[in-house]
Structure formats: structure tokens, C-alpha cells
Amino acid sequence: MHSAGQGAGPAGLVLAGRLTPARFAELVDGPGLRDVDEWYLCGPLALTEAVTTVLQDRGVAPQDVHRELFVAPVAAPADLGPAVVPATLEVTLDGRTTSVTTIGDESLLEASLRAGLDAPYSCTGGACGTCRGLLRGGTVHLQQSWALTPSELAQGWVLSCQARPTSPRVVLDLDQG
């Protein structure tokens, strides 16, 4: 299903105009959408949260709802979390592992790019999930994690653009993202 906020939209568009939680609930309860296995939502935070609530009210498991935000919400200032420490980052990308030492409070993505890796990324704000990877060792602090579900966070997924090391050694697998 695709929704366009303005105008009639392209041919074949299911819905035009502003999508409200009530309108989405009508669509979900109608024919054709009852047997969806996984939901991929893209839009502003308020809309994706409202749609997620409608889906969860209908028994859709949180791990079956994936979100990408148009814009990451502005974070409250100064939640620096645990102390960031210099670390040896071992990052696996395209089957090769590269070691680089982080500098200052740079993110794992920034360290990877500085090392010359073609690490995946897009928004650098924690909203899109393009830079996601699996943390296989060490600890990090995520400044934002809008693109990850609580279940994904519990499994060790991180956003390299938001992850800063809090242990002297960090192992990141970008091939799993």
C-alpha cells in the first residue's frame, strides 16, 4: 500500500490524502491486508508511531513492524550516556575485517570511513537504518536508535552512525545488516 499526502498521486495509488490512524485501521481491517507477514513503514515519526499502535492493537508482533523515518526527531540535548573511550574497532565488511582505532568521540561509522572503508550509510541521524550492523564484541552507546526495534537492540543490532565505543575493543559486523 502506498499513500501520497498531496494530489491524486500516480496511477494505481491505493490512497491519496493525509493518512490518519482511523483511516489506516479501516484499511487494515478490510480485505487484502489481513494476512500481511511483515510491515515496512516509512514516514514522519508521529505517523509511523500511530500506525505501529494500530498494528499492535490488531495483534501484529513488534518484530514484524519495521520503520524508516523521513527525518530523525531532534534529541534532547546532552544525554551523553556512558563515557566514550578510545577503542580498537574491528569492523567486518564485504568479508574482510579491518582494525582501526577510534579518535575522540567519533562514531563507529566515522572511524570506518576514516579507515577508507566503503561502509553503508545514508542519513547519519539514526533514522534510516542503512548503517545497521551486528555488535559481536565490546560495548557502545547509541545516541539515537530510531531505526531499530527493542527486539533488534536486544539482539545486538546497532546503528554505526550513532554508536560510540564504551569499551576498549569493539567488534562490528556490517555484513549482517
Asked whether residue 7 carries a pLDDT value surpassing 60, the answer given is no
Residues 41 and 118 in one domain: no
**Which of the pair, 36 or 112, is modelled with greater confidence?**
112
The whole-angstrom separation of Cα 111 and Cα 98 is: 11
- The H or E element spanning position 109 is helix 108-114
Instruction: Give the predicted TM-score (pTM) of the model.
Output: 0.64
Highest average pLDDT, of 40-44, 64-68, 143-147, 169-173, comes from 169-173
Mean pLDDT of 62-87: 72
Last residue of a domain, one of 11, 39, 69: 69
Report the candidate in 147, 101, 91, 152 with the shortest Cα–Cα distance to residue 124.
147
Last residue of a domain, one of 38, 69, 100: 69
Q: Which domain holds residue 31?
A: 3-69
Asked whether residue 101 carries a pLDDT value surpassing 90, the answer given is yes
The predicted structure's pLDDT at residue 35 = 79
Mean pLDDT of 10-26: 67
Distances, alpha carbon 49 to alpha carbons 19, 88, 147, in Å: 13, 37, 12
The mean pLDDT of the chain is 84
The number of domains in the chain is 2
Residues 92 and 65 in one domain: no
Strand partners, 141: 164
DSSP class of 62: G
Residues 103 and 166 in one domain: yes
Residues 63 and 105 in one domain: no
Residues 64 and 135 in one domain: no
Strands of the chain (E only): list them: 3-4, 15-16, 39-43, 65-69, 88-93, 96-101, 132-137, 140-142, 157-159, 163-165, 169-173
Residues 105 and 51 in one domain: no
The predicted structure's pLDDT at residue 156 = 97
Residue 82 included in any domain: no
